[in-house]
Amino acid sequence: MESEAFGEETGPVADATGPRRSRPLRGLRIVEISTYVATPLSGMTLAQLGADVIRIEPVGGAPDRTRWPLAESGTSLYWSGLNKGKRAIEVDLSSERGRRLVADLVVSGGRRGGIVVTNSARHPELTFEALRERRPDVIHVLLTGRRNGETAVDYTVQAATGFPLLTGPEEAAQPVNSVVPAWDLAAGLYVTVGLLAAERHRLLTGEGQQVRVALEDVALATAGNLGYLAEAQLSGTPRERCGNYVYGTFGRDFATADGGRLMVVALTARHWQDLLAATGLTEVVAALAAALGVDFAEESVRHRHRKLLGDLLAGWFGTRTRAEAESALRATRVLWSAYRSFAELAALLPESPLMGKVTQPGVGEHWAPGSPVVLDGEQALPEMSPRVGEHTGEVLRAELGLSAAELAKLRENGVIGDPDGHQRDRDPRTREADHP
């Protein structure tokens, strides 16, 4: 079945063993034309699962290659983090010849090719309609800001969808945006799911299709799926900020005597009982419940009286060190964690099975995440991100059959960047395994 799906050039994969099990998408070839977070994340997610992802960049590199944070050399740590394991080519997309070259790459590749993921619809040769004329089974995945094609970014989508008005301290008067680009991240994964669904459809029917995901739709869908929009429609009382309290149950942060801080959540009645037992407040809270005529075993009741209960618990945490509080909580089923800075977290990375060492040009050796997806006990380890134009010659020779003379002419005319100036020294056995 697998060799039928990917074409004769890929060979069977059902007998894959060892680390190849963690690369179930080997044999797929995806052209990525994108910038910033969502679509690069989609491409990297697919690459970590074994797809051959070829990233198209303008000559000199895409604008997000300089986005902060930066290494001392000026290399973007942000870009390097979102583009691991891809191949990269430089093409002048402002020229018709450059766009035709990329279109040639999209529609080539036999059964393993014919897939493009992008966040741009401005190039006429690279639209779904134009590519479908050349290859009827093409899969064209497009991320837009809004469903009507208008532009938007995570920060503007945040502003438009209500969440910043619920984020931040209770007393805050102004909206507070999240520093985590949640809608970019969710959109990138929706793009990935949509692409794989379309590829599955093509596998079963031979038909290609366009997949569209709008960043704003992702945020609206999430607000609806989590009940925020239904609440706004059906409730006469708008939801208010509650700071670090967890809405609808009991959870909040607590300071310890030595300046530490922990987040503690009691979702269930068992969690709540364990928290009271660990802090010695069982009898006190029972007396309080009797006086109020309530049952704190119900999470809605715990939330309604969260400030009163929180003050009782804050007194206990405030007279213990962080280590003492952690020791008491560790013996329970309560959900908790100490707050850590990124620097504290970085010191723990060598202990994480997710992480592997990568030596990135311009950055140096550091710990970087592999795929969070663990398949049959295996996960893909992190790879380097490509340098500008690193694989230009390699890709155009192997995928389009261009000769050295043709590549030289394209380079001379400014259609492509230097095809051989940044070749990565890779084990050819790995190349063969990763890109059959």
Hey, which residues are catalytic here? 184
Look-up of token digits 């809608």: 183
Beta bridge partner(s), residue 87: 54
Q: What are the φ and ψ backbone dihedral angles of 115, each rounded to 5 degrees?
A: -130, 130
Give the number of other Cβ atoms within 10 Å of residue 158's Cβ.
21
Letter string b/e over residues 267-296, b meaning 16 or more CB atoms within 10 A of that residue's CB: beeebbbbbbebbebeeebeebbeeeeeeb
Strands 115-118 vs 29-33: parallel, antiparallel or unpaired: parallel
Tokens representing 44 are 């990297």
What 3-state DSSP class applies to 107?
helix
Of 104, 84, 105, 110, nearest in space to 31 by CA? 105
Of 114, 331, 79, nearest in space to 207 by CA? 114
Question: 112, exposed or middle or buried, with CB in 10 Å at 0-12, 13-18, 19+?
Answer: buried
What 3-state DSSP class applies to 419?
coil
What 3-state DSSP class applies to 378?
strand
Beta bridge partner(s), residue 212: 142
Q: How many Å apart are CA 212 and CA 140, to the nearest integer?
A: 8
Question: 127, exposed or middle or buried, with CB in 10 Å at 0-12, 13-18, 19+?
Answer: middle
DSSP string, 36-49: SSHHHHHHHHHHHT
* 123 φψ region: left (φ > 0), alpha (ψ -120 to 50), beta (else): beta
CA atoms within 13 A on the CB side of 353: 6
340: which residues sit within 8 A by CB, 6+ positions away? none
Report how far apart, in Å, the C-alpha atoms of 200 and of each of 22, 91, 243 are.
Answer: 19, 30, 43
